[in-house]
Amino acid sequence: MDCEKISQTLCEFIQHKVKDSGLNGVVLGLSGGIDSALVATLCKKALGENVFVLLMPTKFSNQENLNDALKLCQELNLKYKIIEIQDILEAFLKQSENTDELSRGNFAARIRMSLLYDYSALKKALVVGTSNKSELLLGYGTIYGDLAYAFNPIGELYKSEIYELARYLNLNKKFIQKAPSADLWIGQSDEKDLGFSYELIDKGLKALENQDMKVLENLDKKLLDMLQSRIKNNAFKRNMPEIASLNK
Residues contributing to the annotated binding site for ATP: 29-36, 130, 159, 181
Alpha-carbon gap, residue 93 to 183, rounded angstroms? 18
Alpha-carbon gap, residue 102 to 132, rounded angstroms? 20
Closest CA to 43 of 22, 26, 19, 29: 26
List strand residue ranges (DSSP E) for 86-224, in order.
Answer: 125-127
- Residue 100, CA distances (Å) to 31, 93, 97, 234 in order: 22, 10, 9, 21
Q: Which residues are documented as binding site for deamido-NAD(+)?
A: 110
25: left (phi over 0), alpha (psi -120 to 50) or beta: left
247: left (phi over 0), alpha (psi -120 to 50) or beta: left
Q: Which residues are documented as binding site for Mg(2+)?
A: 35, 135
Q: Which residues are documented as binding site?
A: 29-36, 110, 130, 135, 159, 181
